[in-house]
């Protein structure tokens, strides 16, 4: 791997000052679970690596009660995935988040990986990760997955030249929960809805998110809404150490037996997390029954345009959405598919 200079600034300002305005020369280091791989594979070859671990309170998880309106949760970008998964209060109010965080990678990954890293990590496409393959995202002319080995790639491919799937499992959950991210760059801070955080890249100067190369995610804020129900369901081939084949994150308000404000977001099926409004519409104002959840699943999968080898994932979308909805609607209740 290429030699680089390592920095560990004590402040966010210090970190931003070290960052380059273009992609490639500088990289931010959180837990290192992604960057180390990328550098060893010569996919990332930074001159400077800027660790965020020296910044005070960067990993804090704060729960601030709001009078009469539940609480607001503020999670520092440096918070470890394990700390999120194990947080007792979060488990109570945002099971979608803690379940998703608790299933990422294995214990080693979760003890190193961070919230910020999960949102900003690079995709796992095996062509992108192979040093010898010059794909679109590395300045090449073509996406090799389009007519190559694409069993794990996107099934919502319309309008995309590059058919990676977004690797973030927390992204879909945070979008469903109406979270916002606080971001800081050379010009100061800005707040970004998570729904607008992700981006479908198609060239070497683009990433899987909208941040500028010299911006840093500081924290994520999630509002707790009264009567909120939420869940994340992943279809995985392996229960240990595997990527989801498909993920569905759902959130709604249980309003006298009826679901309102329904949000359904898919993960690992498109270059970004995918909000499926048509599916939410199937549930809005209704009781979440098997039939309603099934209809929502079908609506979520309707527009899929799979590639040559991943048609099976369309069916998985239907199932993941259905199961996420039923899980959210029946918290703590054992579901018929659970073994």
Partner 1 sequence: MATSWPKDRRLIGKDIPRTDGPEKSTGRARYSIDMNPKGLLHAMILRSPYAHAHIDAIDVSAAEKTTGFKAVHEINGAGKEVYFAGDEIIAVCADTEEHCRDAMRAIKIKFTPLEFFVKEADALKNPQSKTISGPAKSNVAIGAEATKGDVAAGFKDAEKIVEADYGMPVICHQCLEPHGLVASWEGDRLTVWASTQAVVGTAQQLAATFKARIPQVDVKCITHYMGGGYGSKFGPDIQGIVAAELALKTKAPVKLMLNREEEITVGGNRPSAYGKIKIGGKKDGTITAYEVDCHGSPGERGGATVNLGLLPYVYLDTIPNWKRKHTVVRLNTGIARAMRAPGHPQNCVLTDCPVDDLAAALGIDPLIIRRKNLPPNDDKVAQSDPTAWLGQRNNIYVRELDLAVKLSEWEKKWHQPGQGGKGPIKHGIGMAIHTWGGSAVGNLGDGQPANDATVIIDRGGQVIVQSSTQDLGTAQRTVSAIVAAEILGLKVSDIVVRIGESPFGRSSGSGGSTTCPSQAPATLRAAIAARDDLFAKIAAKFGAKKEDLVIEEGKVVDKASKKGLDWKKACAMLGMDEAKGVGAWSSNMANEIDPDKKILVNPGVSNVQVGGVQVAEVLVDVETGVVRCTNFVAVQDCGLIIDKLTCESQVAGGVIMGVNYALFEDRIMDRHTGRQVNPDMEFYKLGGIQDLPRIKVAMVDMPERGVIGIGEPPTVSTAAAVGNAVFNALGVRVPYAPYSPENVLNALAKKGAKG
Residue 95 CB neighbours (<10 A): 20
The dihedrals phi and psi of 320, each to the nearest 5 degrees, come to -65, -40
Site for partner 1, residues 196 to 255, rule: CB under 8 A: 235-243, 245
d(CA 163, CA 268): 11
Residues 6+ apart with CB under 8 A from 68: none
The dihedrals phi and psi of 91, each to the nearest 5 degrees, come to -60, -35
> Any contact of residue 130 with partner 1 (CB under 8 A)?
yes
> Any contact of residue 132 with partner 1 (CB under 8 A)?
yes
Q: Report the sign of the C-alpha dihedral through residues 90, 259, 327, 102, in that order.
A: negative
> Any contact of residue 23 with partner 1 (CB under 8 A)?
no
> Any contact of residue 151 with partner 1 (CB under 8 A)?
yes
In this complex, which beta carbon is closest to partner 1, that of residue 134 or of residue 258?
Answer: 134
Q: Minimum CB separation from partner 1 for residue 221, in Å?
A: 32
In this complex, which beta carbon is closest to partner 1, that of residue 160 or of residue 313?
Answer: 313
Which residues does residue 6 pair with via DSSP β-bridges, in sequence order?
49
What length does the chain have?
339
**What distance, in Å, lies between the first and last C-alpha atoms of the chain?**
44
> Any contact of residue 139 with partner 1 (CB under 8 A)?
no
DSSP-assigned states of every residue in 149-187: --TTS-S--TT-SS------SHHHHHHHTT-EEEEEETT
Which residues does residue 222 pair with via DSSP β-bridges, in sequence order?
73
> Any contact of residue 319 with partner 1 (CB under 8 A)?
yes
The dihedrals phi and psi of 149, each to the nearest 5 degrees, come to -85, 105
> Any contact of residue 67 with partner 1 (CB under 8 A)?
no
d(CA 152, CA 172): 18
Residues 6+ apart with CB under 8 A from 309: 149, 150, 151
> Any contact of residue 1 with partner 1 (CB under 8 A)?
yes
> Any contact of residue 111 with partner 1 (CB under 8 A)?
no
In this complex, which beta carbon is closest to partner 1, that of residue 163 or of residue 216?
Answer: 163
Q: Minimum CB separation from partner 1 for residue 316, in Å?
A: 6
Pick from 110, 97, 329, 333: nearest CA to 224: 97
Q: Minimum CB separation from partner 1 for residue 148, in Å?
A: 5
Question: Are the C-beta atoms of residues 82 and 59 closer than 8 Å to each other?
Answer: no
Size of the site for partner 1 (CB under 8 A): 35
Query: Which of residues 133, 210, 275, 278 is near partner 1 by CB under 8 A?
Result: 133
Q: Minimum CB separation from partner 1 for residue 295, in Å?
A: 15
Q: Minimum CB separation from partner 1 for residue 179, in Å?
A: 28
In this complex, which beta carbon is closest to partner 1, that of residue 17 or of residue 139?
Answer: 139
**Of 61-69, 127-135, 167-175, 192-200, which part binds partner 1 (CB under 8 A)?**
127-135
> Any contact of residue 316 with partner 1 (CB under 8 A)?
yes
107 secondary structure, DSSP code: H
> Which two tokens mark 235?
């279809």
Site for partner 1, residues 254 to 313, rule: CB under 8 A: 309-310, 312
> Any contact of residue 334 with partner 1 (CB under 8 A)?
no
> Any contact of residue 13 with partner 1 (CB under 8 A)?
no
d(CA 175, CA 178): 5
> Any contact of residue 128 with partner 1 (CB under 8 A)?
no
Binding stretches for partner 1 (CB under 8 A) = 1, 3, 42, 106, 124, 126-127, 130, 132-133, 144, 147-149, 151-152, 235-243, 245, 309-310, 312, 315-316, 319, 336-337, 339
């Amino acid at each position: 791997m290429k030699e680089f200079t390592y920095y560990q600034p004590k402040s966010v300002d210090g970190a931003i000052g070290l960052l380059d305005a273009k992609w490639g020369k500088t990289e931010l280091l959180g837990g290192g679970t992604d960057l180390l791989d990328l550098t060893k594979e010569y996919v990332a070859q930074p001159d400077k690596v800027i660790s965020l671990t020296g910044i005070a309170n960067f990993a804090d998880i704060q729960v601030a009660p709001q009078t009469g309106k539940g609480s607001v949760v503020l999670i520092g970008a440096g918070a470890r995935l394990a700390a999120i998964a194990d947080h007792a209060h979060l488990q109570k109010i945002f099971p979608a988040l803690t379940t998703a965080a608790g299933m990422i990678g294995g214990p080693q990954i979760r003890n190193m990986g961070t919230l910020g890293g999960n949102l900003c990590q690079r995709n796992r496409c095996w062509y992108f990760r192979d040093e010898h393959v010059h794909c679109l995202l590395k300045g090449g002319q073509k996406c090799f997955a389009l007519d190559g080995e694409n069993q794990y790639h996107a099934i919502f491919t319309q309008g995309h030249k590059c058919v990676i799937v977004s690797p973030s499992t927390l992204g879909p959950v945070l979008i469903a929960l109406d979270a916002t991210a606080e971001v800081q760059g050379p010009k100061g801070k800005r707040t970004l809805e998570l729904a607008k955080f992700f981006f479908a890249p198609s060239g070497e100067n683009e990433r899987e998110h909208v941040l500028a190369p010299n911006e840093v995610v500081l924290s994520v804020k999630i509002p707790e809404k009264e009567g909120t129900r939420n869940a994340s369901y992943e279809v995985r081939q392996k229960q240990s150490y595997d990527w989801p084949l498909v993920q569905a994150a759902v959130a709604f308000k249980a309003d006298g037996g009826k679901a309102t404000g329904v949000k359904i977001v898919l993960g690992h099926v498109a270059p970004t997390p995918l909000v499926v409004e048509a599916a939410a519409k199937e549930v809005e104002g209704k009781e979440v029954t098997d039939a309603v959840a099934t209809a929502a699943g079908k609506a979520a999968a309707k527009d899929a345009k799979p590639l040559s080898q991943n048609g099976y994932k369309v069916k998985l979308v239907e199932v993941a959405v259905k199961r996420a909805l039923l899980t959210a609607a029946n918290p703590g209740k054992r579901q018929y598919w659970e073994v």
